[in-house]
Chains A and B, each alone.
Chain A
């Protein structure tokens, strides 16, 4: 048989029916961890801003972007009253934060564990362009990922997160971008599980653009279908993963706005069509939504009268911290007040994840300010 035919046949063995499931103990570990992260009334606090990303926030309160200032800010969050863990099950950290300590010398990870909050880690290494595409990107970070996961696991991290952004435009997201996103997320997820780490899979269809909610829904459906086909191809154990998707909303620049009920209907419909029920939970990203919007929309999602075979909760960064930043303003004397804002916002979102939040009942300092920025860099 000629060489190239042999090659083709080999390459085309993508859908193998010969593979292993993870062994029972690993399945149980991954499953338990995933389920603990999406326990009823709880969600994730995402504090995995890159140094560049948090640098902008520090500048906003007149602080220099130093390691110690970044440490001080995260310390503020993690030394909040224990009541925080009633609504925060887990925290996503950035690499540097894993190794930092409080003023008193207590490692942040130890502190979180003592509060029954599960530490996790952002493992992607940011976006790079897809050459010749219309400004589309992929996310890198697979090199040595297994060793990195093993090390983070040793340090106490039990889950990881990897974000792939996709942008809606006239010709985007292209099949190339969708395919690559799905592939890279599946490789990441597979590697995580090999090291006993639960992968949170984040295909983020960005808010940027003036497209309407129907287009967002279609794009989200196509992207999710590609992601889950790829996870299947790579034999990822779905029961030991979580999904962190965008909600389905109109683009930031769309003139027709949508009520929370419309967003809820479109979001849950897209998920029902694209996310297998074996996935234990879905923890939404907030994108550029304001704190209150993100809470009200999550609440509407949990109230909508449709099948909901996964937990639907939050994994918020900006939508949990905007008021914290505003209140702290970089000053030590404001720490307690800023922590109170975090606890309030966490409670609001905890209620929303149960469909029990009444809009406007929990007011925070920056509750209604948009957190949108074009081409947002974390």
Chain B
């Protein structure tokens, strides 16, 4: 616990702070389009489309050419490495489609999970090697924020001290390196929804994990005002027999955050986990209406919960691209409203809105 360290220079502080605040501007959130090649393959397979580089390019091109009105509710997009260097049909980089819409490009920089030897099936996330150089390059290529996902699972004896410490530390190293290259780190310590545990246990685990994360960020002198948090909402396990209302989820989630996330953090952008599009909107809305203090923006960073209907409507067919884009616009608007506590449940339906999107032991 050193009390001798530097703050970033005022210029770097301002740059990071401005980017973070723009991402969580009122009514806006993030489209997480950073599915790895393998994961994108599963999505495409579900709609009968082959997993080729061209198909992945066409899919992301469709997303990013959506009517500019989409930027009323989408402030940033998280990209996968491949996508950053892909081009539209007319040769312009896909990333410039975003820039033209005033949408901030971001980049997934972790290199996936690896097992913690000796643990009960727990993992950490790798990708720190050469991260500074990679970030410098990504910044040059137009990315202003990054994302790194760590995964923790609730079981009888997990998450263990080892897993919590290791993941908190790796997130802090990642965040520190990003900031050294003027990239805003989105810190994602995901506590998976897998399991039979109830809401109470989920809340406790989330509190302990977040406390460890923020202690590690402090130890590594991460400038909190220039970061964002991407946590799970606090929900019962997927196989829990007890049912809870959105308000229960809202209350448990905000309570956990109030106990652990310093108000210096400008915003919290929830992951959707296995929630359906509608669930993810309704729960985000509850989070924004529950009767508790909310000293940070509370918005979305959704992947599946913004794209399920898009994929279904598109089905891989060029003639369906406008329909796919319409689905994105609709769902972005719904979540924009939810981030303001103004979403009316059921008011926005999509072709895949109700379908549960839970995948056991989900790996991106």
A229 near B215 with CB under 8 A, answer yes
B164 surroundings in chain A (CB, below 8 A): 15
Which of A13, A178, A225, A233 is packed against the most chain B CB atoms within 10 Å? A225
Q: Report the minimal beta-carbon distance from A12 to chain B, rounded to whole angstroms.
A: 5
B328 CB to nearest A CB, Å: 33
Nearest A-chain residue to B2, judged by Cβ: A222
Contacts known (A15-B164, A232-B260); A218 close to B5, Cβ less than 8 A: yes
Given A274-B262, A276-B262, decide whether A178 and B211 contact each other with a Cβ distance below 8 A.
no
| A173: Cβ under 8 A from any B Cβ | yes
Stretch from B124-132, B199-207, B305-313 forming part of the interface with A: B199-207
Q: How many residues of A contact B (CB 8 A)?
A: 36
Provide the residues of chain A in CB contact with B263, threshold 8 Å.
272, 277, 307, 309
B262 in contact with A273 (CB, 8 Å) = yes
Contact B218 A221 (CB under 8 A): yes
Tell which of B205, B207, B211, B264 touches A272, judged by Cβ atoms closer than 8 Å. Answer: B264
Q: Is B290 an interface residue (CB 8 A)?
A: no
Decide if A17 touches B201 in the complex (CB within 8 Å). Answer: yes
Report chain B residues within 8 Å CB of A222: 1-3, 218
- B97 close to A (CB within 8 Å): no
Interface residue A275 (Cβ < 8 Å from any Cβ of B): yes
Task: Assess the B259–A238 pair: CB atoms within 8 A.
Answer: yes
Residues of A within 8 A of B295 (CB): 277, 307, 309
Is A232 within 8 A of B208, CB to CB?
yes
Question: In the bound complex, what is the Cα–Cα distance between A175 and B4 (angstroms)?
Answer: 12
As a 0/1 sequence over residues 160 to 173 of chain B, the CB contacts with chain A under 8 angstroms (1 = contact) are 01101100000000
B218-A274 in contact (CB<8A): yes
Q: In the complex, which residues of chain A have a beta carbon less than 8 angstroms from the beta carbon of B224?
A: 272-273
Q: How far is the CA of A289 from the CA of B111 in the complex (A)?
A: 53
**A337 close to B (CB within 8 Å):** no
Q: State the Cβ distance, B119 to closest chain A Cβ, in Å.
A: 12
Decide yes or no: A276 and B1 within 8 Å by CB, A221-B218, A232-B208 being known contacts.
Answer: no
Within residues 6 to 23 of chain A, which ones have a CB less than 8 A from any CB in chain B?
A: 12-19, 21
B-chain residues with CB within 8 Å of residue A149 when the two chains form the complex: none
> Which residue of A is nearest B5, CB measured?
A218
The answer on a CB contact under 8 Å between A273 and B264 is: yes
Interface flag for A278 (CB, 8 Å): yes
Interchain CB contact under 8 A, A175 and B1: yes
A-contact bits for B221-242, CB 8 A (1 contact / 0 none): 0001000000000000000000
- Measured CB to CB, the nearest residue on chain B to A18 is B204
User: Per-residue CB proximity of B326-337 to A under 8 Å, as 1/0?
Assistant: 000000000000
One of A19, A178, A218, A276 near B204 (C-beta < 8 A): A19
Check A377 for interface membership: any CB of B closer than 8 A: no
Task: Establish whether residues A309 and B204, one from each chain, have CB atoms under 8 Å apart when the complex forms.
Answer: no
Assess whether A269 is in contact with B264, with CB atoms less than 8 Å apart.
yes
Residue of A at shortest CB range from B202? A17
- The answer for the CA separation of A218 and B221 in the assembled complex, in Å, is 10
- B255 at the A/B interface (Cβ < 8 Å)? yes
Out of B200, B208, B261, name the residue touching A15 (CB < 8 Å).
Answer: B208
A13 and B161 in contact, given A19-B204, A273-B264 (Cβ under 8 angstroms): yes
Does B249 touch A at the CB level, under 8 Å?
Answer: no
Listed by A's residue number, 20 A-B pairs whose Cβ atoms lie within 8 Å are A12-B162, A15-B165, A17-B204, A17-B205, A21-B204, A168-B3, A179-B1, A219-B3, A222-B3, A229-B212, A232-B211, A232-B260, A238-B258, A238-B259, A273-B224, A273-B262, A274-B218, A276-B258, A276-B260, A278-B258
Question: Footprint of A on B, CB under 8 Å?
Answer: 1-5, 7, 154, 159, 161-162, 164-165, 200-201, 204-205, 207-208, 211-212, 214-215, 218-219, 224, 255, 258-264, 293, 295
- Extra contacts, 14 of them, besides A17-B201, A276-B259, A276-B260 (Cβ < 8 A), are A15-B161, A17-B159, A17-B204, A168-B3, A218-B3, A218-B5, A219-B3, A221-B218, A225-B215, A232-B260, A238-B259, A272-B264, A273-B262, A274-B262
Closest 3 CB pairs of A and B: A225-B218, A232-B211, A309-B295
